[in-house]
Structure 1
Amino acid sequence: MNYTLTQIPDRTVKPRQNGLTMAMDKGLSLRQVEDFLSTSADYVDLVKLGWATSFVTPNLKEKLAIYKAAGVPVYFGGTLFEAFVVRDQFDDYRRLIDTYDLAYAEVSDGSIEMQQDTKCEYIRQLAQQVTVLSEVGSKDEAKIIPPYKWIQLMRAELEAGAWKVIGEAREGGTVGLFRASGEVRQGLVEEILTQIPSESIIWEAPQKEQQVWFVKLLGANVNLGNIAPHEIIPLETIRLGLRGDTFTHFLNGKH
């Protein structure tokens, strides 16, 4: 930090197991990645190349090398995993991970129908190769999954070998954990937390109001994902109580 302030909540330090910030790269250029990391590398723990953007991204190997040099792990979005699986190319997907020397992979079923046992088997196989993030929730806003099912899915996928489970929200924050308006499905989140440890969940929260809600509920070291690159530093100030939305939240030992 550039100067000293008292009553700042303690933040975990990299490499973190909790307090993670996952950024969403939807097609940054090489120069944009360099600029992004020059300001935010200390605050970002994982970068997801959104959905299947890696398929059409120019200079992909060069981009991955820039992230790697900065010590920021990258993984391909879960939709790419689904695109391989639906085409019966899972072995090709595993080879792809090795080709690009990735240490993480995301397993999801937000765009395709997949039996839970099948999904867990994919997790088990990939967990022998990389660190697995498993996404729970549908990208279809008309598909409402009841809380007990979220809990059951998350528990099973963690037991199958997922390092973290991701609560689905898409890049816009309007499905899954959230209503179409972006409002948090508060009862859903609170019920999930009765059974699944917060440390095991990355909550996709692309909108500022969503980030504020989770920080107020779970503290500075809540795991948050799908954060736009230009919002990484703003999010860190939310975590530290240095933005109006959380300004009084950590003062005088309140939290």
Structure 2
Amino acid sequence: MNYNLNNLPERTSKPRTEGYTMVMDKGLSLREVEDLIETSGNYIDIVKFGWATSYVYPKLKEKIALYKSAGIPCYFGGTLFEAFIARDQFADYQKILDEFGLEYAEVSDGSIEMDHDIKCEYISTLAKQVTVLSEVGSKDAAKIIPPYKWIQQMETELEAGAWKVIGEARESGNVGLFRDSGEVRQGLVEEILTQIPEEKILWEAPQKAQQVWFIKLCGTNVNLGNIAPNEVIPLETIRIGLRGDTFSHFL
């Protein structure tokens, strides 16, 4: 830090398992990645290439190498996994993970209908190859999943071998954990936390108000995802009470 301030909340240090910040890369250029690493690399724990953007992005291997050189792992969005599954190309998906040297993978079923037992089989299989994050929740705003089912799916996916479970919100933050207005489904989140260990959940929270809400509920070192590249440093100030939204909360 550039100077000393007393009595700030204590942040975990990288490499960490709590206080994760997952950034969504929706097509940054190599120069933008270099700039992001220079300014915010210390605060980024992992990067997701949004949905299936990795399919069309040029110089993908070069981008992955840039992140790796900074000690930041990355992974393909869950929609790409679903695209391979929908085309009966799971073996091909496994091959591209190796081809691009990825150590993480996301398993989701937000865009396709998939029997949950089959999803857990994919998790178990991939967990032998990479570290798996599994996403729970639908991308369909009209599909409301009751809390008991969120809990049940999170439990079974962790048992199947997922390292962390992701609470769905999309990059817009208006489905899954949130109402279409972006408001947190508070009862859902609080009920999930009665059964699932907090450190095992990565909450997608792209909007500032959502980030503030989770930090006030769970503390400085809550795991947050789908953070825009230009919001990494602003989020870090929210985490440690140096933005008006949490200024009084941590004093």
Give the TM-score normalised by structure 1.
0.98
Q: CA deviation at 1:211?
A: 0.1
CA distance in 2, matches of 1:211, 1:104: 24
How big is the shift at 1:7? 1.2
Determine the structure 2 residue equivalent to 1:144.
144
Deviation at 1:109, TM superposition (A): 0.1
Aligned-partner residue type, residue 7 of structure 2 = Q
Q: Tell me the residue number matched to 2:83.
A: 83
Q: TM-score, normalised by structure 2?
A: 1.00
1:119 aligns with 2:138: no
1:198-218 Cα deviation digits (max 9, x unpaired): 100000000000000000000
Q: Give the match for residue 199 of structure 1.
A: 199
SS of match in other structure, 1:5 = coil
- Which residue pairs with 1:216 in the alignment? 216
RMSD: 0.4
Describe the superposition over 1:31-79 as per-residue Cα deviations: whole angstroms up to 9, x where unpaired: 0000011011100000000000000001111111100101100000000
Partner amino acid, structure 2, of 1:146: P
Instruction: Output the CA distance in 1 between the equivalents of 2:149 and 2:95.
Output: 32
Q: Which amino acid aligns with 1:130?
A: V
Q: Distance in 2 between matches of 1:192 and 1:65?
A: 36
Query: Residue 98 of structure 1: SS of its match in structure 2?
Result: helix
Is it true that 1:41 corresponds to 2:41 in the alignment? yes
SS in 1 for 2:4: coil
Aligned counterpart, 1:109? 109
The equivalent residue for 1:99 is: 99
Alpha-carbon shift at residue 119 of structure 1 (Å):
0.3
- Name the amino acid aligned to 1:27: G
Counterpart for residue 24 of structure 1: 24
CA distance in 2, matches of 1:79, 1:16: 26
SS in 1 for 2:245: helix
Distance 2:193 2:63 in 1: 36
| Consecutive unaligned residues in structure 1, runs of 5 or more | none
Distance in 2, Cα, partners of 1:16 & 1:230: 22
Q: Does 1:65 align with 2:65?
A: yes
2:131 aligned with 1:131? yes
Q: Which amino acid letter does the alignment assign opposite residue 134 of structure 2?
A: S
Superposition misfits of 4+ residues, deviation over 2 angstroms: none
Q: What fraction of aligned residue pairs are identical, expressed as a percent? A: 75
Q: CA deviation at 1:250?
A: 1.1
Cα distance in 1 between the residues matched to 2:233 and 2:82: 31
Q: Aligned to 1:37, what secondary structure does the other structure show? A: helix
Aligned length: 251
Q: Which amino acid aligns with 2:182?
A: G
Report the alpha carbon displacement of residue 193 of structure 1 after superposing the two structures with TM: 0.4
Partner Cα distance (2:13, 2:162) in 1: 22
The answer to whether residue 28 in structure 2 is matched with residue 14 in structure 1 is: no
Q: Does 1:172 align with 2:175?
A: no
Structure 2 segments unaligned to the other structure (5+ residues): none
Structure 2 letter corresponding to 1:170 = R
For residues 152 and 3 of structure 1, what CA distance do their matches in structure 2 show?
46
Equivalent residue, structure 1, for 2:55: 55
TM superposition shift of 1:132: 0.2
Distance 2:197 2:64 in 1: 31
Aligned partners of 1:54, 1:134: CA distance in 2, in Å?
A: 19
Give the Cα separation in 2 of the matches to 1:103 and 1:12. 22
Cα distance in 2 between the residues matched to 1:32 and 1:11: 26
